Protein backbone atom coordinates (compact mmCIF):
# COMPACT_ATOMS: atom_id res chain seq x y z
CA UNK A 1 0.00 0.00 0.00
CA UNK A 2 1.57 3.27 -1.07
CA UNK A 3 -1.34 5.60 -1.78
CA UNK A 4 -1.12 9.24 -0.81
CA UNK A 5 -3.74 10.47 1.65
CA UNK A 6 -3.57 14.23 1.44
CA UNK A 7 -6.02 17.11 1.24
CA UNK A 8 -3.65 19.01 -1.00
CA UNK A 9 -2.69 18.94 -4.62
CA UNK A 10 0.93 17.93 -4.38
CA UNK A 11 3.56 20.36 -5.58
CA UNK A 12 1.70 23.68 -5.17
CA UNK A 13 2.94 26.71 -3.26
CA UNK A 14 0.34 26.34 -0.50
CA UNK A 15 1.16 22.62 -0.26
CA UNK A 16 4.81 23.49 0.34
CA UNK A 17 4.00 26.28 2.81
CA UNK A 18 1.71 23.93 4.76
CA UNK A 19 4.61 21.49 5.13
CA UNK A 20 7.25 24.12 5.93
CA UNK A 21 5.01 25.61 8.64
CA UNK A 22 4.29 22.06 9.91
CA UNK A 23 8.01 21.37 10.36
CA UNK A 24 8.48 24.70 12.19
CA UNK A 25 5.40 24.19 14.38
CA UNK A 26 6.51 20.69 15.39
CA UNK A 27 9.52 22.20 17.13
CA UNK A 28 8.01 25.42 18.47
CA UNK A 29 4.75 23.83 19.73
CA UNK A 30 6.77 21.19 21.60
CA UNK A 31 8.92 24.00 23.09
CA UNK A 32 5.79 26.00 24.00
CA UNK A 33 4.14 23.06 25.78
CA UNK A 34 7.36 22.11 27.53
CA UNK A 35 8.17 25.64 28.73
CA UNK A 36 4.67 26.58 29.88
CA UNK A 37 3.56 23.28 31.40
CA UNK A 38 6.70 21.45 32.51
CA UNK A 39 9.31 24.17 33.25
CA UNK A 40 6.71 26.67 34.47
CA UNK A 41 3.38 25.29 35.62
CA UNK A 42 0.06 26.54 34.33
CA UNK A 43 -1.21 27.63 37.76
CA UNK A 44 1.92 29.74 38.32
CA UNK A 45 1.11 32.06 35.41
CA UNK A 46 1.39 35.77 36.16
CA UNK A 47 1.40 38.99 34.18
CA UNK A 48 4.89 39.79 35.48
CA UNK A 49 6.36 36.42 34.41
CA UNK A 50 4.75 36.57 30.96
CA UNK A 51 5.97 40.15 30.54
CA UNK A 52 9.51 39.20 31.57
CA UNK A 53 9.61 36.57 28.80
CA UNK A 54 7.99 38.79 26.17
CA UNK A 55 10.35 41.70 26.85
CA UNK A 56 13.15 39.60 25.33
CA UNK A 57 13.32 40.23 21.58
CA UNK A 58 14.25 36.60 20.82
CA UNK A 59 11.22 35.20 22.72
CA UNK A 60 8.87 37.89 21.38
CA UNK A 61 9.98 37.24 17.78
CA UNK A 62 9.63 33.48 18.20
CA UNK A 63 6.10 33.86 19.61
CA UNK A 64 5.02 36.23 16.82
CA UNK A 65 6.41 33.79 14.23
CA UNK A 66 4.63 30.99 16.12
CA UNK A 67 1.35 32.92 15.95
CA UNK A 68 1.73 33.67 12.22
CA UNK A 69 2.70 30.11 11.23
CA UNK A 70 0.05 28.48 13.46
CA UNK A 71 -2.64 30.80 12.05
CA UNK A 72 -1.59 30.07 8.47
CA UNK A 73 -1.25 26.32 9.04
CA UNK A 74 -4.59 26.05 10.85
CA UNK A 75 -6.65 28.25 8.56
CA UNK A 76 -5.09 26.83 5.38
CA UNK A 77 -5.73 23.34 6.76
CA UNK A 78 -9.40 24.15 7.41
CA UNK A 79 -9.77 25.68 3.92
CA UNK A 80 -8.22 22.64 2.24
CA UNK A 81 -10.32 20.24 4.31
CA UNK A 82 -13.48 22.07 3.18
CA UNK A 83 -12.37 22.17 -0.47
CA UNK A 84 -11.61 18.47 -0.17
CA UNK A 85 -15.17 17.89 1.04
CA UNK A 86 -16.48 19.42 -2.16
CA UNK A 87 -16.68 23.18 -1.43
CA UNK A 88 -16.81 25.04 -4.75
CA UNK A 89 -17.95 28.23 -6.49
CA UNK A 90 -19.30 31.21 -4.55
CA UNK A 91 -19.38 29.31 -1.25
CA UNK A 92 -15.69 28.54 -1.64
CA UNK A 93 -14.90 32.22 -2.28
CA UNK A 94 -16.99 33.34 0.72
CA UNK A 95 -15.35 30.75 3.01
CA UNK A 96 -11.88 31.69 1.74
CA UNK A 97 -12.26 35.40 2.46
CA UNK A 98 -14.02 34.73 5.79
CA UNK A 99 -11.04 32.65 6.84
CA UNK A 100 -8.66 35.38 5.66
CA UNK A 101 -10.64 37.94 7.71
CA UNK A 102 -10.62 35.65 10.78
CA UNK A 103 -6.86 35.23 10.40
CA UNK A 104 -6.30 38.98 10.23
CA UNK A 105 -8.37 39.49 13.42
CA UNK A 106 -6.48 36.70 15.19
CA UNK A 107 -3.08 38.07 14.16
CA UNK A 108 -4.05 41.62 15.11
CA UNK A 109 -5.30 40.57 18.53
CA UNK A 110 -2.34 38.23 19.10
CA UNK A 111 0.18 40.98 18.31
CA UNK A 112 -1.72 43.46 20.50
CA UNK A 113 -1.53 40.96 23.36
CA UNK A 114 2.19 40.33 22.81
CA UNK A 115 2.81 44.09 22.78
CA UNK A 116 0.79 44.52 25.99
CA UNK A 117 3.06 41.97 27.69
CA UNK A 118 6.23 43.43 26.22
CA UNK A 119 5.22 47.06 26.86
CA UNK A 120 5.54 47.73 23.11
CA UNK A 121 7.93 46.24 20.59
CA UNK A 122 11.00 45.01 22.49
CA UNK A 123 14.19 46.66 21.26
CA UNK A 124 16.73 44.52 23.10
CA distances from residue 119 to 46, 48, 53, 75, 81 in whole angstroms, order as listed? 15, 11, 12, 29, 38
Work out the end-to-end distance of the chain between its first and last CA atoms, rounded to an integer number of angstroms: 53
Nearest distance, CB of residue 57 and other proteins, angstroms: 18
Binding string, residues 18-37; x marks residues near other proteins by CB under 8 A: -x--xx-xx--xx--x---x
Nearest distance, CB of residue 96 and other proteins, angstroms: 15
Nearest distance, CB of residue 80 and other proteins, angstroms: 10
Q: Under the criterion CB under 8 A, does residue 74 sit at the interface with other proteins? A: yes
Nearer to other proteins, 74 or 122 (CB): 74
Q: Cα separation of 41 and 44, whole Å?
A: 5
Amino acid sequence: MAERYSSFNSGGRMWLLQRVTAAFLLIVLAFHFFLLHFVHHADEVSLAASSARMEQLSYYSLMILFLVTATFHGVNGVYNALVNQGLTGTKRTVVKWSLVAASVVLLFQGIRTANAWAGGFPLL
